[in-house]
Structure 1
């Protein structure tokens, strides 16, 4: 009975977190992801190693300290009074559905209005770290769709899946790992070795969420009025095309469902036979994203089998 009650509590917390997300983000001063970012920035400022091995060890040690602090904070929050309500409230800032959809909507509004410089600026401000100043309108639309698909996994499905699997401690650890990868996981001279553990940890933790997101995107294509067979074909064919072992899964499914070609210059092409994306494809991608979240939520609300059950 206790396990059944815990399962109901976890599902209630998940739904509450999604409902609270509609209200937007908490202030930066009390936002746990902002705290994680501050820790990571501060840690980087304390790096002193000069050799590849030393940098790897130093970056790994700091990453491990932050991981322990994040997991411990999640464990503490999970034992505060208030039960599933408290846990749902603490889960909310670990996901960012409204923020993601709002950012994509802003880029689309500028692109639809013919404000290409504004769309490029908003894309760089909200969604990507790559240089956007020379992107064409089609490329802006494509990058917007790519970022929506990838961040749908990273910022929505993954935190919910981690919470369902391991409560607030695992959800907090995931969010920390994802934030560390976003800040340290680059192949630049100063981060190639120091950020390697952060990048690998994020890859590992995103294996299941990325594939769940892609599967839900395929299943969401029919109610979204899009091409489910195309989503399935592109997912199975093009998911390995990206340098990341995970990002290609939701992105290729979105490319196939929308029938568009997603092309990062000199890096990868998803759905090479598709047409060039345009501003009108961004609302279609948002519709697919909403249906994908809905289906993923339903999947995560299903009761988990009890051990020893016949």
Structure 2
């Protein structure tokens, strides 16, 4: 497939995601990756010794097998489609691009939290936000629920939308699948708890590596998008440069810092995870309290940054490929 056709498939897949999100009835590659990871975990733990070193090695095998099988499946699918007809390969590439992007789903799931805060009870809102965050939600008040949703939109603007766009633009669906397999492993086993401290370390470290550049690009894009989207562009840059490293993860705070600055709110801080209080630094200044409407505002910022990313990663290369 030519570069021009691949970029057109990404553009079409991007539009499909904006229009339809992820229908739950449709088979999805990320769900398949999740099933693969879950299916590999038990036998790998059984094969290797139940020691720190044994679990580390088992985790490395999990990364190699999951990433290898997922990427090989995408390559094989596209090759088989190309043997039948080039347009079938184009359709398959478009479908994979569509399914690997999550802008609409991120918006839809976070808006459920907003609607629960607006129309339902606090328990409804806690339940809605528990679907999209990893922290304990049973102690959160209304502000805590709203802040958790805003942070999720801001963080996932990178690894759910802008980072996949970058990898899809560079290497098409196979590279996008490779990225998403690593990201899915991190979300499933990359925890620093007793169960996954060693087994999930390889996945977590690899996720840090592949997201190093995308996370910083995403933070910059959100800062650039802040003023056009109607937010505080100057403060977005200020907080981004000041607080983008206020997280144990080398990548998570970049987009959160840009969003906190753009919205003039303070995000992050200490929260409970698996019943334990985890002390974290704050991101941004509390110029005003976080409110439910900030969920909608952060989604608008996420969309604005995503459109900038699409222009940079896909639009400009597509124009150049058509004119040269």
Shorter-normalised TM-score: what interval?
over 0.9
8 Å CA contact retained: 1:16, 1:85: no
2 CA distance for matches of 1:163 and 1:243?
Answer: 28
Matches within 5 A, 1:62-141: 62-79=62-79, 80-81=81-82, 82=87, 83-113=89-119, 115-125=121-131, 127-141=132-146
Q: CA deviation at 1:284?
A: 1.2
Say which of 171, 183, 186 aligns to 1:181: 186
Q: 2:9 matched to 1:13?
A: yes
1 CA distance for matches of 2:25 and 2:229?
Answer: 34
Question: In the alignment, what sits opposite 1:151?
Answer: 156
> Tell me, what secondary structure is at the counterpart of 2:282?
strand
CA deviations over 1:178-211 (Å, ceiling 9, x no partner): 1100000011112111100000111111112211
1 CA distance for matches of 2:259 and 2:10?
Answer: 25
Q: CA deviation at 1:268?
A: 2.1
Question: In the alignment, what sits opposite 2:196?
Answer: 191
Question: In the alignment, what sits opposite 2:273?
Answer: none
Question: In the alignment, what sits opposite 2:225?
Answer: 220
- Give runs of ≥4 in structure 1 deviating > 4 Å: 26-29
1 CA distance for matches of 2:207 and 2:163?
Answer: 11
Q: CA deviation at 1:6?
A: 2.4
8 Å CA contact retained: 1:37, 1:179: yes
Question: In the alignment, what sits opposite 2:60?
Answer: 60
2 CA distance for matches of 1:140 and 1:276?
Answer: 12
Gaps of 5+ in 1: none
Q: CA deviation at 1:143?
A: 1.1
> Tell me, what secondary structure is at the counterpart of 1:39?
helix
- Between 85-94 and 147-156, the greater mean CA deviation after superposition: 85-94
Number of residue-to-residue matches in the alignment? 302
Q: CA RMSD in A?
A: 1.9
| TM-score, length basis structure 2 | 0.88
CA deviations over 1:119-143 (Å, ceiling 9, x no partner): 1110002x11210110121111111
> Tell me, what secondary structure is at the counterpart of 1:225?
coil
| TM-score, length basis structure 1 | 0.92
Gaps of 5+ in 2: 271-278
8 Å CA contact retained: 1:150, 1:250: yes
Q: 2:180 matched to 1:171?
A: no
8 Å CA contact retained: 1:112, 1:280: no
> Tell me, what secondary structure is at the counterpart of 1:35?
helix
CA deviations over 1:216-258 (Å, ceiling 9, x no partner): 1111111211011101111111010011111100000000000
Q: CA deviation at 1:174?
A: 0.7
CA deviations over 1:268-293 (Å, ceiling 9, x no partner): 20013432201121211111111111
2 CA distance for matches of 1:201 and 1:274?
Answer: 36
2 CA distance for matches of 1:86 and 1:29?
Answer: 14
Q: CA deviation at 1:95?
A: 1.6
